[in-house]
Structure 1
Amino acid sequence: MPRVVKSPQERRAEFIAAANALFFSKGYANTSVNDLIQHVGVSKGAFYHHFDSKQAVLEAWSDDMLEQYRQVIGGLVEDPNLNALTKWETLLRRTNQWEIGQKDIMLGFFKIINMDENLQLKHNFMQKVSALLAGYYEVILCQGNQEKVFDAPSTTVTARLMVSVLNGFSEELTRKMLNTDKMSDLLDEVVVEVKATQLVLERMVGAKPGSMPLINDQLLHAWFTE
């Protein structure tokens, strides 16, 4: 049988798909490079042509997730037909819908990158996420200042601070989710945190209370449906 020649992009995608499947079925710690190689059905040399370790596959997976998110958001923040508050609401809604649509994958991914051996990878990933979000927020803040719905000083600094607040909220929420056997038990507590975080952000940018929703009730309940 002739050898199947695939492009580097196709092989890379195959290893990421294998990692996605094996990290969940066997667990990250119990998945070896040989497991990935056997799952894809290639030689050891083919693996090391693309990656130098199992963790490198995980990093590629995280980069792919970030690219998926960019595509979900698309040109939203530059859309000239939307006002600043609509852009904010749509950005958060698309983000939440995308995450809920792959809830198990997201929770599994965050469980893996929170392992001690992957903390540097987590740091790198969060830096990329933070830079992307800060860019989105700054565009929305500048427009909101012009429209007089925000009164945000130094939009660059304010956007960065908004990211810090939301990262802290997400980190705490993820910690709780990964340390509970029953997601529904967290709902009441999370509702309080969502409202408090929203109020903090609105005060940071001088927005009218209630004008910058983080997540609607339907999507919030979807997160905590067993």
Structure 2
Amino acid sequence: MPRVIKHPDVRRAELLDRAFVLFLRRGFDNVSLNDLIADAGVSKGAFYHWFPSKDALIAALADRSARDQFAAVEAVVAECRGDALDRLNALLQTGFDVKMAAGTPEQLAAMVSLLRPENAHLYTRIVALGEDLSRPLLTRLISEGVTEGTFDTFDPEGVADVIHGLAARISSNLVQVVDAVDEPAREHAIEVLTTRFRLHGLIIDRVLGLPDGSVTTLSREQVETMVAALPRNY
């Protein structure tokens, strides 16, 4: 049988996919470079050609994930024909829509597994790269809102950082829902998560000089839809 020669980009993507699954299954700190090479089924030389170190592989994984997420956000904002508030709400809603549209159990389990302490190294890289990619877009959107009179703030980039910080903080609340030991605890965690989304929306409203309730946040029904799709065991 003739040897199958894959395009370098395809081969690199396959190695990243396998590494990502292995990290999620065992945790970043419990996977060595030799584990990654053995799982990939390639020689050390071939693996090192793509990723000379574990950190290099993590950087590649984080970059790919962050760029995929940003592409979805950028497309939604570009298609929105409303004012700056409409565009901001479209941007903030995209995360939910993208996750649910691609919400296979494996993908959703991966999303929550990234929030585990043992995967903090990878999650932190993804968040940082995502913020670096989206900060200019979010800052520009807020600046346009100030110019058109929709928003009132003296520091658009600072507001963008506030929004990123609030989004990152939600991760611990999501883990609390998944970790709930029984239905009453789960219901309480869902209520806390819903309330936290509402609080963050009000914070953004006020820092942008908007009436309370202007920034759209996830409803209780949307939160329940999101967490219902998450596997209990991952």
TM-score range, shorter chain: 0.7 to 0.9
Query: Which of the numbers 86, 98, 118 marks the counterpart of 1:115?
Result: 118
- Opposite residue 84 of structure 1, the aligned amino acid is A
Distance in 1 of aligned mates of 2:125 and 2:39:
28
Aligned residue in 2 for 1:155: 156
SS at match of 2:48: helix
1:59-98 counterparts in 2 under 5 A?
A: 59-79=59-79, 81-98=81-98
Distance in 2 of aligned mates of 1:211 and 1:220:
19
Query: CA-atom RMSD, angstroms?
Result: 2.8
Q: Retained in 1: the 8 A contact 2:151–2:209?
A: yes
SS at match of 2:130: helix
Query: Which of the numbers 212, 218, 223 marks the counterpart of 2:226?
Result: 223
SS at match of 2:115: helix
Aligned residue in 2 for 1:126: 127
Cα distance, 1:66 vs structure 2: 0.8
Distance in 1 of aligned mates of 2:17 and 2:80:
37
Go from structure 1 to structure 2 and tell me whether the alpha carbon gap of 1:22 and 1:154 turns closer, same or farther (over 3 Å shift): closer
Q: Does 1:46 align with 2:46?
A: yes
Q: Retained in 2: the 8 A contact 1:87–1:140?
A: yes
Distance in 2 of aligned mates of 1:5 and 1:95:
37
Aligned residue in 1 for 2:139: 138
Cα distance, 1:106 vs structure 2: 1.0
Cα distance, 1:48 vs structure 2: 1.0
Cα distance, 1:27 vs structure 2: 4.7
Q: Retained in 2: the 8 A contact 1:186–1:224?
A: no
Taking structure 1 as the reference length, the TM-score comes to: 0.81
Unaligned residue ranges in structure 1 (runs of 5+):
none
Q: Retained in 2: the 8 A contact 1:77–1:140?
A: no
Q: Retained in 1: the 8 A contact 2:194–2:218?
A: no
Aligned residue in 1 for 2:36: 36
Go from structure 1 to structure 2 and tell me whether the alpha carbon gap of 1:74 and 1:5 turns closer, same or farther (over 3 Å shift): same
Distance in 1 of aligned mates of 2:25 and 2:162:
38
- Opposite residue 66 of structure 1, the aligned amino acid is A
Alpha-carbon deviations, 1:38-94, whole Å to 9, x = none? 443321211111112344333322211111112212344345723212212221221
Query: Which of the numbers 172, 190, 194 marks the counterpart of 2:193?
Result: 190
Q: Does 1:206 align with 2:179?
A: no
Instruction: Pick which of 177-186 and 213-222 moved more.
Output: 177-186
Unaligned residue ranges in structure 2 (runs of 5+):
none
